[in-house]
Structure 1
């Protein structure tokens, strides 16, 4: 229901319960005072419970529900605390006027007194008599509202963080599983074996690159975002292995804005983009592949782009993701990290052959 977008019924019940508890204490206090001070005058218990308690409870809960909705908007718009407190001070005084106005109108409409008998000064005096109490009640309930929203945000943040950690672990495991598949290891080890006879130094370097690359995946920590410089260092180990394996059939170029090296990017994002571009770029008609990795700023965003001159896509992005091209986990991580303030596009380049994958994230 649309109403749930604006009203949190759990919070309304919490406010209603708090003010109900306050009224219960007030009823017990009144009962005590009447028992020990019989000379006190009071309306009938029916009128007291219905008009002074129940109707007052309804008015206050309704008013504080509106305040709860307004408070949520204040938090979403990041108003300054000075402005928020000033607004609540005004509202705390206004609640007394609203309660007094409601009871005066109700008294006139119900025939308790006529409009001619209505005395504005007496009504104002009644308002002033309880203005301090209304002030305290208002801010007590406002404190409940802010505490409720704060606790909920903390829980959502913890859930959000747990999701990100799980996705990062899944990404590492998928990458490790991908790289430990027999064809990868056999091809890499076979390349090393060939190099051992013709270029021992290059063979040693390839072994070191393979070791460093797998170590980065396994022991890179639990950070969901890392500096671009660190991400590129991990990617370099992978590129060195690819250059040995594919030799002259693969050219990889990097176009990196060095001013962005300290900026944060999702950990382990470039390698699966590159792997996907190579894996699906080769075909019988495209045996030589050129892949370009670009990182640049575009307004308030950082753009990560991996493009090739290989085989074009034959299906829309939604269908590609459903077939499991290893990118769905990246999209989920992006949305968990940046919400709707990011984008992921995989598409044909258009005027020339090839496919480009473009990721746009906020500059951090």
Structure 2
């Protein structure tokens, strides 16, 4: 049976089948060339010896010269062939390694999506079960929000990046469900520049960071806990910050948090996509913890200038509303300072 050209690493559980490099078919070509050069040299020496017999005179020097020349020429040809082969194999390995790394990041992203489900679904369904006994309408609204969130999660399984506006929309739906658990104790404020809404960011960039802010900040604090989400453009970078005013974390606890699956996976995705051209830093604050993310500024091309102007006008309107909402606030509902969102 002919062996397959490639071997495969089965990661069907992560949703991908990854090819592994196989040994190149021409890896034994250069030894054959050297063997051929040796045979040709021996044949040349034999021919020289035969000629010396026919002519009755010694031409050993000529035979030696032929042998040396043939050997050098074919050795050089073999060396060039091997160098070209090595270069081609190196390029192929680099391409395969890049494809493998891309597949692994995609698998990590799918895993991150899947990790959102178990504990989040458990908490949400438990909250809905509790609401059913005292507020059927609220339970129904929570079910609708959960349905919307799960639909968005499924739609984004194949996406590596989205606009910040889409990411904030997903985050808002997530927070609406979390608010079922915390009610007035969870207050989220947004300060987002209008143009930042069009910037491209990795999918599910903010959700793990906000989840940590809720878990280690709001949930452990007596009374209302605030989470501030800011985003702005600074030259060629998009800067995003998530801050909470919770009880904070010790240095050891903050280090352990950064080694968790959600944070470490997010860092790996940023490193894969942007190399060293990003920032992802955690800071202990006087109250709570802050996370700063900076990525290269990138946007999708707009279809027309009129659409851009219309979007900017609409965003400015939302910005004014957001500022008024942030100053005023609504009883029973978190105050949103939504500059541009």
Verify same fold: TM over 0.5: yes
Work out whether residues 44 and 66 of structure 2, in 8 Å CA contact, stay in contact via their aligned partners in 1: no
Deviation of the 1:252 alpha carbon = 0.5
Report the equivalent of 1:147: 88
- Cα distance change on mapping 1:26 and 1:52 into 2, 3 Å: closer
Q: How does 1:33-44 map to 2 (within 5 A)?
A: 39=51, 43=61
Q: Which residue of 2 aligns with 1:319?
A: 256
Deviation at 1:160, TM superposition (A): 0.3
User: Are 1:163 and 2:104 counterparts?
Assistant: yes
* Aligned position for 1:53: 71
Instruction: State how many pairs are aligned.
Output: 267
RMSD: 3.7
SS in 2 for 1:261: helix
Residue from 138, 156, 173 that aligns with 1:220: 156
Q: How far did 1:275 drift?
A: 1.1
- 1:256–1:295: 8 Å Cα contact kept in structure 2? yes
Instruction: Tell me which of 242, 259, 264 is aligned to 1:306.
Output: 242
The reply to whether residue 281 of structure 1 matches residue 299 of structure 2 is no
Q: Which residue of 2 aligns with 1:101?
A: none
Look up the match of 1:265. Answer: 201
CA shift, 1:59, in A, is 12
Instruction: Choose 338-347 or 266-275, whichever is displaced more.
Output: 338-347
For 1:321 and 1:177, the matched residues in 2 are separated by 21
**Structural mapping, 1:90-105, within 5 Å:** none
Given the alignment of the two structures, is residue 25 of structure 1 paired with residue 43 of structure 2, yes or no? Answer: no
Partner residue of 1:190? 130
TM-score (norm 1): 0.61
Taking the aligned partners of 2:273 and 2:236, their CA distance within structure 1 comes to 16
Q: CA deviation at 1:179?
A: 0.6
Alpha-carbon separation, structure 2, partners of 1:148 and 1:223: 31
CA contact (8 A) 2:33 2:78 kept: no
Tell me if the contact between 2:283 and 2:290 (Cα under 8 Å) persists in the aligned partners: yes
**TM superposition shift of 1:204:** 4.1
Give me the whole-angstrom Cα distance separating, in 1, the residues matched to 2:87 and 2:163.
35
* TM-score normalised by length of structure 2: 0.64
Q: Which has the higher contact order (CA 8 A, sep 6+)?
A: 2
Residue 175 (structure 1) aligns with: 116
Deviation at 1:306, TM superposition (A): 0.9
Separation in structure 2 between the aligned mates of residue 50 and residue 304 of structure 1, nearest angstrom: 69
**Segment of structure 1 superposing worse, 330-339 or 158-167:** 330-339
Q: Deviations over 1:62-112 (max 9, x none)?
A: xxxxxxxxxxxxxxxxxxxxxxxxxxxxxxxxxxxxxxxxxxxxxxxxxxx
Q: In structure 1, how many angstroms separate the alpha carbons of the residues matched to 2:153 and 2:142?
A: 17
Check conservation: 1:15, 1:141, Cα contact below 8 A: no
The secondary structure found in structure 2 opposite 1:186 is helix
Distance 1:336 1:188, change over 3 A: farther
Partner SS state of residue 180, structure 1: helix
1:177 Cα deviation (Å)?
1.5
- Unpaired runs of 5+ residues, structure 1, are 1-13, 62-137
C-alpha spacing 1:36/1:347, structure 2 compared with 1 (3 Å): same
Rounded to whole Å, the distance in 2 between the matches of 1:285 and 1:231 is: 27
